[in-house]
Amino acid sequence: GDDPVSMHQAFAEMLETCYTKIRSYQEEARTRGFTQEPAWPVIVLRTPKGWTGSKVVDGLPVEGTFRSHEVPVADVRTNPEHLSILEQWMRSYQPEDLFDEHGRFKPELAALAPIGDRRMGANPHANGGKLMVNLEIPDFTDYALEVKAPATEHAESTRQLGKMLRDIFTQNAGQRNFRLFCPDETNSNRLGNVFEVENRTFVEPILPTDDHLSPEGRVMEVLSEHLCHGWLEGYLLTGRHGLFATYESFALVSASMTVQHTKWLEEGIKLPWRAPVSSLNILLTSTCWRNDHNGFSHQGPGLIDVVLSKKGTVARIYLPPDANCLLSVADHCLRSRNYVNLIAIDKQPQLQWLSMQDAVEHCTRGLSTWQWASNDQHLEPDVVLACAGDIPTLETVAAAWWLRHHLPELKVRVVNIVDLMKLYPPFLHPHGMDDATFVEHFTEDKPVVFAFHGYARAIHEIVHGRPNTPRFHVRGFIEEGTTTTPFDMVVLNHMSRYHLCIEAMRRATRVRICPRYAIGCGRTEKHPTAQLLYSNRYG
């Protein structure tokens, strides 16, 4: 409607109807017991845009049109007609009935507002941290993969996380304060173990062919990143806990929502009266490097760049290289407060690098020099091979192996980064390391060949201001993708083990490497890609 008087009356009647219905639900539950969640009433109010404002300005309609946006009567200082329109508009609210002669709100009207805990802003659900009950999280080490030596085991890393999430549901069944949000991809992302104890939320009639649907289900699964993200935000802000798991590329669909939640947290932590809430945890899987079956549309690591642009007080990015690291990171993120935690790891079977003990130590530090993959013997290396992300780790370790076997005189150090924010200086991020620690891992002046999960520019941005940053040569996703093989994806994006070897040989200065020798070594490789790269000295 558009008539204010009749709409006020209709709205008052509707409020009374809804209130009566709510009270009847409550009374029935208190007297007969709670049987099922009621269908709570929802009011949809539809009014014209700019309702009760100026209907016409300069002979053009305003109310109900795009002209009512922002300031419909702009130049009131210089245009007497516009000033008159503004005055009539303001007087239409009858301020003399609201304020006394001194401009104070009339006491009899102020008395109508509720006080204390009855105020809308005092509703504890509007400050959900006050209601929050800590999540009961099982010991993540119980889900460890046994890794006796690096690269001796294959496993789907996210499947181990799925087992842990299953038991989180079980341990919190009494307090019912955890949900998994996923756009129709729970099984695809290898988190399907949760359906051993939980169902998908569904309140419509259920067919015999439906799978794990229930009105009481706690897995919120619908093919809409916006809905899943929005549901999780509301769930967190009202004092609960959750995880949003999605294909990496489609996290960009709801990226603006991630940004706005981050901004809300940035402001909220400044207010001492606002209690901390559980962190917004986003698991990015089905990543750009292993979505070779879906093709180019499913290949995009851009949410990393989005989160990097946010303040260090709330933004966190983790790139666990294997299952045990993922479990450690997930445990940390689910326990954290007032952060946006981004975790990126693929779902496909992959080599496992670290035992659980080593993984915990690695994740606690945020980055480590992997001596078992290096041959610098704790001395100054000729080149540093750095990696962040599961597939970059695979290619980097393979490159280091090739160099150790073909050029043992070239001293190589492998550094793996799981907490991307460790690369920042401390004044930009609380996880950042000082220059002395940075040099301890990356040296003062030796070349660094960096294989990165996302876009190369992110690493250049993060290490800006560190000693001799031109020595960082970053390989990452360069928007080359198609439906192809996993190895072809790293070749197309110039991040294969062979590209990294060529880059390392090109940048090393202490050891003079004969180009013919390097090409000859490359030609001995059985892989046709290696032969092509080395024959053309293609990097």
- Separation of alpha carbons 496 and 85, rounded Å: 69
Phi then psi dihedrals of residue 130, to 5 deg: -70, -30
Any domain includes 2: yes
Is 230:238 a contact under the CB 8 Å cutoff? no
Residues 383 and 282 reside in one and the same domain:
no
Q: Identify the pLDDT of residue 532.
A: 62
SS3 383: strand
Is 306:281 a contact under the CB 8 Å cutoff? no
The structural domain count of the chain equals: 4
Any domain includes 187: yes
- Separation of alpha carbons 79 and 451, rounded Å: 63
CA distances from 339 to 172, 173, 268, 527 (A): 22, 25, 11, 44
DSSP structure class, residue 350: E
Q: For helices 515-524 and 497-507, what crossing angle results, to 10°?
A: 160
Residues 16 and 52 reside in one and the same domain:
no
Any domain includes 115: no
- Separation of alpha carbons 445 and 54, rounded Å: 68
Any domain includes 124: no
Copy the structure tokens of residue 277: 């809430």
Q: What is the pLDDT along the chain (539 residues), one digit of tens a residue?
A: 789 999 999 999 999 999 999 999 999 999 988 777 788 999 999 999 999 999 999 999 999 999 999 899 989 999 999 999 999 999 999 999 999 999 999 999 999 999 998 898 888 899 999 999 999 999 999 999 999 999 999 999 999 999 999 999 999 999 999 999 999 999 999 999 999 999 999 988 999 999 999 999 999 999 999 999 999 999 999 999 999 999 999 999 999 999 999 999 999 999 999 999 999 999 999 999 998 678 888 899 999 999 999 999 999 999 999 999 999 999 999 999 999 999 999 999 999 999 999 999 999 999 999 999 999 998 999 999 999 999 999 999 999 999 999 999 999 999 999 999 999 999 999 999 999 999 999 999 999 999 999 999 999 999 999 999 999 999 999 999 889 889 999 999 999 999 999 999 999 987 776 555 555 555 555 566 656 655 554 44
Cβ-Cβ contacts under 8 Å for 39 (sequence gap 6 or more)? none
Residues 342 and 370 reside in one and the same domain:
no
Q: Which residues of 418-451 are buried (b: 16+ CB within 10 A; e: fewer)?
A: bbbbbbbbeeebebbbeeeebeebbbeebbbbbb
Which residue from 462, 155, 500 is spatially nearest to 321, judged by alpha carbons?
Answer: 155
Any domain includes 361: no
Any domain includes 256: yes
Q: Identify the pLDDT of residue 50.
A: 93
Is 474:459 a contact under the CB 8 Å cutoff? yes
**What is the CB neighbour count within 10 angstroms for residue 21?**
14
CATH of residue 453's domain is: 3.40.50.920
- Separation of alpha carbons 303 and 310, rounded Å: 11
Residues 452 and 531 reside in one and the same domain:
yes
Is 340:259 a contact under the CB 8 Å cutoff? no
CATH of residue 163's domain is: 3.40.50.970
Of 61, 92, 108, the one marking the end of a domain is: 108
Residues 20 and 77 reside in one and the same domain:
no
Residues 20 and 164 reside in one and the same domain:
no
Is 387:393 a contact under the CB 8 Å cutoff? yes
Query: What is the rounded radius of gyration, in angstroms, for the C-alpha atoms of the chain?
Result: 29
- Separation of alpha carbons 321 and 343, rounded Å: 11
Any domain includes 127: no
For the chain, the residue count is 539
Beta strands 56-57 and 60-61: pairing type?
antiparallel
Q: Identify the pLDDT of residue 531.
A: 61
Q: Identify the pLDDT of residue 121.
A: 84
- Separation of alpha carbons 152 and 350, rounded Å: 10
Phi then psi dihedrals of residue 159, to 5 deg: -65, -35
Of 108, 130, 159, the one marking the end of a domain is: 108
Residues 216 and 338 reside in one and the same domain:
yes
Residues 59 and 25 reside in one and the same domain:
no
Q: For helices 323-335 and 356-365, what crossing angle results, to 10°?
A: 50
Residues 375 and 335 reside in one and the same domain:
no
Any domain includes 313: yes
- Separation of alpha carbons 165 and 334, rounded Å: 10
Q: Identify the pLDDT of residue 516.
A: 52
The single-letter code of the amino acid at 22 is I
Residue written as tokens 């209907």? 55
- Cα dihedral: 432, 437, 443, 444 (round 10): 80
Which residue from 51, 60, 49, 53 is spatially nearest to 85, judged by alpha carbons?
Answer: 53
Residues 192 and 285 reside in one and the same domain:
yes
The single-letter code of the amino acid at 537 is R
First-to-final CA distance of the chain: 67
Residues 288 and 309 reside in one and the same domain:
yes
Which residue from 211, 216, 205, 152 is spatially nearest to 186, judged by alpha carbons?
Answer: 211
- Separation of alpha carbons 273 and 127, rounded Å: 9
Structural domain containing residue 97: 48-108
Which residue from 136, 194, 132 is spatially nearest to 163, judged by alpha carbons?
Answer: 194
Q: Identify the pLDDT of residue 472.
A: 98
- What residues form DSSP beta bridges with 207? none
- Cα dihedral: 503, 504, 505, 508 (round 10): 120
Q: Identify the pLDDT of residue 514.
A: 58
Residues 288 and 412 reside in one and the same domain:
no
